[in-house]
Amino acid sequence: MAKKKETVSTEMSVEEKLKNLYQLQLMLSEIDKIRILRGELPLEVEDLEDEIEGLKTRIENTQKDVSDLRSRINEMKTKIDLASQQLAKYKEQLDNVANNREYDLLNKEIEFQQLEVELCNKRIREATAQEKSKEEYLEKNQQILEGRNQDLEIKKNELDEIIAETKAEEEKLREKSKNLELSIEPRLLQAFKRIRKNSRNGLGIVYVQRDACGGCFAKIPPQRQLDVRMRKKIIVCEYCGRILIDPELAGVQTTPAQEEKTKKKIGRRSKKDEKEEN
């Protein structure tokens, strides 16, 4: 089936190929206009969504850090309670010591538990300061997230409105362009798409206007213009590589003065070539 389509497309005349290619260009240009209408909104929405995901991850990690700090503070408080109980116990035992050795041992235990309490209190202060800093950071990011969510909602609404207005037209154009692509020789279509991709304005085929390329506006020699008007082979611009089409074939009306001027130039060039050959 595919081979049959390819054979049919290659049997088409150059004139038909150019005409189909130009019609495809017109459709794709209309689709490009719709994309321009949307502007940078799709990218802005995508960037906002990425930023929001990053903020959510940051908030989750900060919340986990705060939770860990609170657990550590509670752990230190538990240690302080245990050390306080031990201190009370050791102080009570001091009143009933039997000898100096036992007295010294109890004092060492009391000193150790006091140091443990001081160390735990120090760690609680550090953890509390970190917790406060994390909570401030968390609150700041939550405010930013709220603002970004509002921005995203506005941007999405704008984009949805534009898409709703242009969706039907774009889908119709895309369907037509796909059907038209089937009638164009695959190699020619591939070359056209490559030219379009490399062109800043998305034009892969342009008509000759005022003796110049309609894409890069470089002057086209009369003989090359004659070749374009003859429609016997695919002609490309020597400067930008775009495919050239005769304005008449493209359905573009030129003024009589322009038409006469072009014919004279081509006529002079043809006569000159004939003389050179003789």
| All domains of the chain in start order, with CATH | 2-35+183-277 (no CATH), 38-167 (1.10.287)
Per the CB < 8 A criterion, the answer to whether 239 and 61 are in contact is no
**Lowest-pLDDT range, 2-11, 182-191, 193-202?**
2-11
The residue ranking higher by pLDDT, 52 or 272, is 52
Give the model's pLDDT for residue 161. Answer: 86
- Residue 96, class by beta-carbon neighbours within 10 Å (0-12 exposed, 13-18 middle, 19+ buried)? exposed
* Six token digits for residue 172: 């119709």
- Residue 17, class by beta-carbon neighbours within 10 Å (0-12 exposed, 13-18 middle, 19+ buried)? buried
Q: How far apart are CA 247 and CA 259, in angstroms?
A: 10
Give the model's pLDDT for residue 12. Answer: 81
Cβ count within 10 A of residue 45:
17
Percent of the chain at pLDDT exceeding 90: 60
Give the model's pLDDT for residue 260. Answer: 56
- pTM over cut 0.75: no
Cβ count within 10 A of residue 150:
10
264: confidence class by pLDDT, cuts 50, 70, 90: low
Per the CB < 8 A criterion, the answer to whether 87 and 113 are in contact is yes
Compute the mean pLDDT over every residue in the chain, rounded to the nearest whole number: 86
Give the model's pLDDT for residue 255. Answer: 58
Which pLDDT tens digit goes with each residue over 34-46?
888 777 888 889 9
Give the model's pLDDT for residue 132. Answer: 95
Which pLDDT tens digit goes with each residue over 53-106?
999 999 999 999 999 999 999 999 999 999 999 999 988 888 888 888 888 898
* Six token digits for residue 230: 């003859």
